[in-house]
């Protein structure tokens, strides 16, 4: 399949310039002024629009079994919705049960993800530890293209990673050239506060943010960063939601640590007042962890993104419908945690980022695509408009607008946290490896068309280890 995108303005993380883009066999084959269309080639008119790398959402949970239920969005519906919003790749999470082989869990998720309409990769969570986990981390990195391992510092009694697990796993990740990532919340503190609030009779969603104060996130971010510093491994903190965690990242980076932070579109734009909604269903629909925060945190997150403490934007797309949320009607700790957004992230960030002058267009591409590709080592295959890159492209109409609503979205969930938000700037066309998957409201996602993307280990780490090992073997030289 060959297509020529004609007349648009290319926007990458580095450059903005007018050129045509020729896509052939899934790749970008040529970029230039007034390219000639090969015979039989589809012509896509991008006049007046921007041609950008398709979005990469580095944090989704399609069909996740979690808190006694299963997320309602599967790999097909979720990636199709992503394509409708201009996102062409996701990185989802394999979350093994404690004691489950991490390799078996990975195979299960690979099976589930066969139906994806867009490309995808996986982070693998380390929820327990023994020698087999140590071994299988190696197999995942060397044979399966996994280069990041997730640690939930919260969810005590379920999937929480203790300090001991983190120490072992971070150390192993360093050996393998892989990146540890953390959900930074102090799980013990959350657990104790949940018990206290329930004992005081606070059972509704308004107790959820009280059980997960900003300090619990700040402490965990600091602890994870100090572990990473001591062990000498990079660290990526998912869904940073507080000024406390942003400050920890700034400090670590200023001290030379390779530390990265991700922010969710929801945390940038929604505040904790949603938990005060007297309509239980509406309040419960916003129960996710970390929770939505007071407005001053949103300001800190925007500044973190603008100032470089935070590099990526994600959604933590994890859908639970009203009947699932109702599992926690009498006890807020039983409300399945999760909200959606994979379809809306790009337009919401364009409108509130580029549209307000907080982000340049190039910074938008960095924050929605290129930085995730770089950090997770799939650049320039993804996250880039360059000859040889995958033809994962969004054609962006800056003049188009819509009002976001659960009534019209493609996501398989009955609410939308951005309900009623008017956004200007939308995907008009989305191409996944050269195939048109979305054209002006017409979603053409193909079940199973998505490919698993292997992510190589970080060779820099391998090189550093090799140099270190060689240095250790060398006899001290007597220079006297």
Nearer to Zn ion, 10 or 62 (CB): 62
Binding-site partner at residue 233 among ligand URP, Zn ion, none, CB < 5 to 8 Å by type: none
Question: For residue 430, how far is the Cα from the chain centroid?
Answer: 19
Site string for ligand URP, 305-334 (x = CB under 6 A): -----------x-x----------------
Burial class (CB in 10 A: 0-12, 13-18, 19+), 135: middle
Q: Does 289 bind ligand URP (CB under 6 A)?
A: yes
Site string for ligand URP, 375-404 (x = CB under 6 A): ------------------------------
The pair of three-digit structure tokens given for residue 221, joined into one six-digit string: 């971010």
Nearer to ligand URP, 239 or 374 (CB): 239
Nearer to Zn ion, 183 or 267 (CB): 183
Q: How far is the CB of 232 from ligand URP (least distance, A)?
A: 26
**How crowded is the C-beta side of 382, counted as CA atoms within 13 Å?**
31
**CA distances to 145, 213, 238, 351 from 302, in Å:** 32, 20, 15, 13
Whether the bond between 290 and the residue before it is cis, its omega within 30 degrees of 0, is: yes
Q: How far is the CB of 61 from ligand URP (least distance, A)?
A: 5
Nearer to Zn ion, 8 or 214 (CB): 214
Q: Are 244 and 213 in contact (CB under 8 A)?
A: no
Q: Does 209 bind ligand URP (CB under 6 A)?
A: no
Q: How far is the CB of 459 from ligand URP (least distance, A)?
A: 29
Binding-site partner at residue 266 among Zn ion, ligand URP, none, CB < 5 to 8 Å by type: none
Q: How far is 271 from 30, CA to CA, in rounded Å?
A: 45
Binding-site partner at residue 337 among ligand URP, Zn ion, none, CB < 5 to 8 Å by type: ligand URP
Q: How far is the CB of 351 from ligand URP (least distance, A)?
A: 23
Q: How far is 137 from 86, CA to CA, in rounded Å?
A: 32
Nearer to ligand URP, 292 or 379 (CB): 292
Nearer to ligand URP, 288 or 372 (CB): 288
Binding-site partner at residue 359 among ligand URP, Zn ion, none, CB < 5 to 8 Å by type: none
Q: Does 183 bind ligand URP (CB under 6 A)?
A: yes
Q: How far is 219 from 248, CA to CA, in rounded Å?
A: 9
Q: Does 96 bind ligand URP (CB under 6 A)?
A: no
Q: How far is the CB of 366 from ligand URP (least distance, A)?
A: 23
When binding is defined by CB under 6 A, the residue of 63, 194, 337, 369 that contacts ligand URP is 337
Q: Are 152 and 184 in contact (CB under 8 A)?
A: no
Q: How far is the CB of 67 from ligand URP (least distance, A)?
A: 8
Q: How far is the CB of 289 from ligand URP (least distance, A)?
A: 4
Binding-site partner at residue 52 among ligand URP, Zn ion, none, CB < 5 to 8 Å by type: none
Q: Name every residue whose Cβ is closer than 8 Å to that of residue 66 and which is 6 or more positions away in sequence.
A: 95, 318, 336, 337, 338
When binding is defined by CB under 6 A, the residue of 133, 166, 288, 346 that contacts ligand URP is 288
What DSSP string describes 135-169?
HHHHHHHHHH---EEEEES--TTTTPPPHHHHHHH
Give CA torsion, residues 419, 183, 380, 393, to 10 deg. Answer: -10
Q: Are 396 and 52 in contact (CB under 8 A)?
A: yes
Instruction: Give the binding site for Zn ion (CB under 5 A).
Output: 183, 316
Q: How far is 403 from 68, CA to CA, in rounded Å?
A: 33
55 beta partners: 87
Q: Does 267 bind ligand URP (CB under 6 A)?
A: no
Q: Give 3-state DSSP helix, strand, coil % of the chain, rounded to 5.
A: 35, 25, 40
Nearer to Zn ion, 57 or 136 (CB): 57
Nearer to ligand URP, 333 or 337 (CB): 337
DSSP 3-state of 371: helix
Q: How far is the CB of 191 from ligand URP (least distance, A)?
A: 15
Residue nearest ligand URP by beta-carbon distance: 337
Nearer to ligand URP, 20 or 316 (CB): 316
Q: How far is the CB of 434 from ligand URP (least distance, A)?
A: 32
Q: Name every residue whose Cβ is closer than 8 Å to that of residue 90 and which is 6 or more positions away in sequence.
A: 56, 57, 58, 60, 62, 78, 79, 82, 118, 119, 120, 121, 317, 342
When binding is defined by CB under 6 A, the residue of 338, 353, 383, 450 that contacts ligand URP is 338
Binding-site partner at residue 338 among Zn ion, ligand URP, none, CB < 5 to 8 Å by type: ligand URP
Q: Does 217 bind ligand URP (CB under 6 A)?
A: no
DSSP 3-state of 176: helix
Q: Does 211 bind ligand URP (CB under 6 A)?
A: no
Strand order across the beta sheet in which 9-11 lies: 16-18, 9-11, 50-53, 393-403, 422-432, 435-439, 442-443
| Sites of contact with ligand URP (CB under 6 A) | 61, 183, 288-289, 316, 318, 337-338
């Amino acid at each position: 399949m060959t297509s020529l995108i004609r007349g648009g303005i290319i926007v990458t993380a580095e450059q903005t310039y007018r050129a045509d883009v020729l896509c052939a066999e899934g790749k970008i084959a040529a970029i230039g002024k007034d390219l000639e269309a090969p015979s039989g080639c589809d012509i896509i008119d991008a006049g007046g629009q921007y041609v950008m790398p398709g979005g990469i959402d580095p944090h989704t949970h399609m069909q996740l079994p979690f808190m006694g239920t299963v997320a309602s969005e599967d790999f097909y519906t979720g990636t199709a919705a992503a394509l409708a919003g201009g996102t062409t790749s996701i990185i989802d999470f394999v979350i093994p049960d404690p004691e489950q082989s991490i390799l078996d869990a990975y195979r299960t998720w690979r099976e589930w993800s066969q139906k994806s309409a867009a490309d995808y990769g996986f982070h693998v969570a380390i929820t327990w530890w023994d020698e087999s986990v140590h071994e299988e981390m190696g197999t995942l990195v060397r044979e399966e293209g996994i280069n990041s391992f997730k640690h939930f510092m919260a969810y005590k009694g379920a999937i929480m990673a203790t300090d001991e697990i983190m120490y072992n796993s971070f150390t192993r990740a360093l050996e393998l050239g892989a990146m540890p990532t953390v959900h930074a919340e102090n799980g013990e503190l959350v657990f104790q506060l949940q018990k206290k609030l329930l004992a005081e009779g606070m059972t509704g969603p308004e107790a959820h943010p009280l059980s997960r104060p900003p300090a619990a996130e700040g402490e965990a971010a600091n602890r994870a960063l100090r572990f990473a510093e001591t062990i000498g491994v990079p660290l990526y903190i998912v869904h940073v939601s507080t000024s406390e965690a942003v400050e920890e990242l700034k400090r670590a980076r200023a001290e030379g640590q390779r530390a990265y932070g991700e922010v969710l579109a929801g945390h940038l734009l929604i505040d904790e007042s949603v938990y005060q909604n007297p309509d239980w269903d509406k309040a419960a629909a916003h129960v996710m962890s970390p929770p939505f925060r007071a407005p001053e945190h949103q300001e800190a997150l925007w500044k973190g993104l603008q100032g470089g403490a935070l590099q990526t934007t994600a959604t933590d797309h994890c859908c639970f419908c009203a009947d699932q949320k109702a599992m926690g009607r009498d006890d807020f700790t039983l409300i399945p945690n999760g909200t959606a957004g994979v379809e809306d992230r790009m337009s919401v960030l364009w409108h509130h980022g580029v549209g307000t002058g907080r982000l340049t267009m190039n910074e938008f591409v960095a924050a929605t695509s290129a930085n995730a590709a770089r950090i997770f080592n799939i650049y320039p295959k993804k996250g880039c408009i360059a000859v040889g890159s995958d033809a994962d492209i969004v054609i962006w109409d800056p003049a188009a607008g819509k009002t976001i609503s659960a009534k019209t979205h493609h996501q398989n969930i009955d609410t939308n946290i951005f309900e009623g938000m008017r956004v200007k700037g939308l995907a008009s066309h989305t191409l996944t490896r050269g195939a048109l998957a979305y054209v002006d409201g017409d979603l053409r996602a193909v079940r199973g068309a998505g490919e698993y993307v292997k992510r190589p280990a970080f060779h820099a780490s391998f090189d550093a280890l090799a140099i270190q090992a060689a240095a250790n073997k060398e006899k001290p030289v007597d220079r006297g």
